[in-house]
């Protein structure tokens, strides 16, 4: 994802990349970040050292192991921060929320425009069908590449969170089913994680009723949708007051 952010940002005349940071163990450290990204040289070498130059905004699209240092550096230098990294621990989430009291932060489980629009639609479907005769069953199926380390995806969990807000506080979150589980209750959201090949991300939200169903499906064909969304969030965040924002804010959608 870092490579795609570098590649797409390099093509944007309104942006200037001033630093590209990775772990010090990266064997390509010291090489031009544009070349590493499969792009033309940009005159910025991959480094593990935080930049001394003035920075308008930082995009973190890495791993949970890297987020703590990133948050600390951004808070210390009062730099706006876009966090697209998923799988954060509860302690890291709390740290990020605390950072939002000092700097502006865009934090979202998915930077995709299509995903966030589908989240909006899913919440509206849940709200409309909450009291449907016969009850409403909600299942979330997500597919990702074999290398993904967290399950279910942060995006799937966000879908569930938004839907649960419309269905009520009694809603339970059930992760997979096995054995004699008994009949499905109407107050639960089911999650199912599939890991196959190089799938960059696919989510299907099933709203089942007696006699009919609605399925919302959103799928990425490559990772550029996430990189371009993170870049759009970074542009939007510059100049904003401190606080925690999400992609609904960036896109001008009501929560």
Residue 241's CATH number? 3.40.50.720
* Closest listed residue to residue 160, CA positions, set 152, 38, 58: 152
Question: CA 5, CA 26: separation in Å to the nearest integer?
Answer: 18
Say yes or no: 46 and 77 in one domain. yes
> Is 185 annotated as belonging to a binding site?
no
Question: Is the same domain home to 102 and 122?
Answer: no
Residue 1 assigned ligand-binding role: no
Tell whether 82 and 32 lie within a shared domain: yes
Same-domain status, 235 and 181: no
Looking at the structure of the chain, the number of domains it has is 2
Torsion of CA 216, 222, 225, 230, to 10 degrees: 120
As a three-state string, the secondary structure of 6-69 is HHHHHCCCCCCCCCEECCCCCCCCCCEHHHHCCCCCCCCEEECCCCCCCCCCEEECCCHHHHHH
Give the CB-side neighbour count of residue 244, counting CA atoms within 13 A: 13
Residue 75 and residue 15 in one domain: yes
Ligand-binding annotation for 91, yes or no, is no
- Out of 95, 120, 148, 165, which one is annotated catalytic? 148
Per-residue pLDDT of the chain (255 residues; tens, 9 = 90+): 999 999 999 999 999 999 999 999 999 999 999 999 998 999 999 999 998 888 999 999 998 999 999 999 999 999 999 999 988 999 999 999 999 999 999 999 899 999 999 999 999 999 999 999 999 999 999 999 999 988 999 899 999 999 999 999 999 999 999 999 999 998 999 999 999 999 999 999 999 999 999 999 999 999 899 999 999 999 999 999 999 999 999 999 876
- 5 and 106 in a single domain? The answer is yes
Is 144 a catalytic site residue? yes
Alpha carbons within 13 A on the beta-carbon side of 44: 22
Residues 106, 117: one domain? no
Indicate yes or no: pTM above 0.75. yes
For residues 13 and 92, membership in a common domain is answered with yes
Residue 23 appears among annotated catalytic residues: no
Domain that holds residue 154: 113-219
Running DSSP on this structure, what letter comes out for residue 184? Answer: P
On whether both 171 and 247 belong to a single domain, the answer is no
Supply the CATH number for residue 162's domain. 3.30.360.10
Q: How far apart are CA 65 and CA 189, in angstroms?
A: 30
Residues 33 and 98 reside in one and the same domain: yes
Same structural domain, 62 and 155: no
Same domain assignment for residues 86 and 27: yes
Kindly write down the DSSP assignment for every residue of 198-245, as one continuous string: T---EEEEEEEETTEEEEEEEE-SSTHHHHHHHHHHHHHHTTPPSEEE
């Amino acid at each position: 994802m870092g490579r795609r952010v570098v590649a797409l940002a390099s093509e944007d005349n309104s942006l200037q990349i001033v630093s590209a940071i990775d772990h010090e163990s990266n064997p390509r450290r010291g090489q031009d970040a544009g070349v590493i990204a499969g792009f033309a040289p940009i005159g910025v070498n991959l480094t593990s050292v935080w930049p001394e130059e003035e920075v308008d905004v930082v995009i973190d699209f890495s791993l949970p192991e890297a987020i703590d240092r990133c948050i600390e550096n951004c808070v210390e230098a009062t730099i706006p921060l876009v966090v697209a990294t998923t799988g954060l621990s509860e302690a890291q989430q709390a740290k990020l929320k605390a950072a939002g009291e000092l700097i502006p932060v865009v934090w979202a489980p998915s930077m995709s425009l299509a995903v966030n629009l589908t989240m909006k639609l899913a919440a509206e479907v849940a709200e409309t069908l909450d009291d449907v005769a016969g009850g409403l069953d909600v299942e979330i199926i997500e597919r990702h590449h074999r290398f993904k380390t967290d399950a279910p995806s942060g995006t799937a969990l966000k879908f569930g969170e938004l839907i649960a807000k419309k269905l009520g506080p009694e809603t339970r979150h059930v992760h997979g089913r096995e054995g004699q589980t008994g009949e499905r209750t109407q107050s639960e959201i089911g999650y199912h994680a599939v890991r196959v090949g190089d799938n960059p991300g696919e989510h299907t939200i099933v709203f089942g009723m007696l006699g009919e169903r609605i399925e919302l499906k959103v799928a990425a064909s490559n990772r550029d949708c996430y990189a371009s969304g993170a870049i759009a969030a970074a542009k939007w965040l510059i100049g904003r007051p401190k606080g925690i924002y999400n992609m609904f804010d960036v896109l001008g959608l009501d929560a």
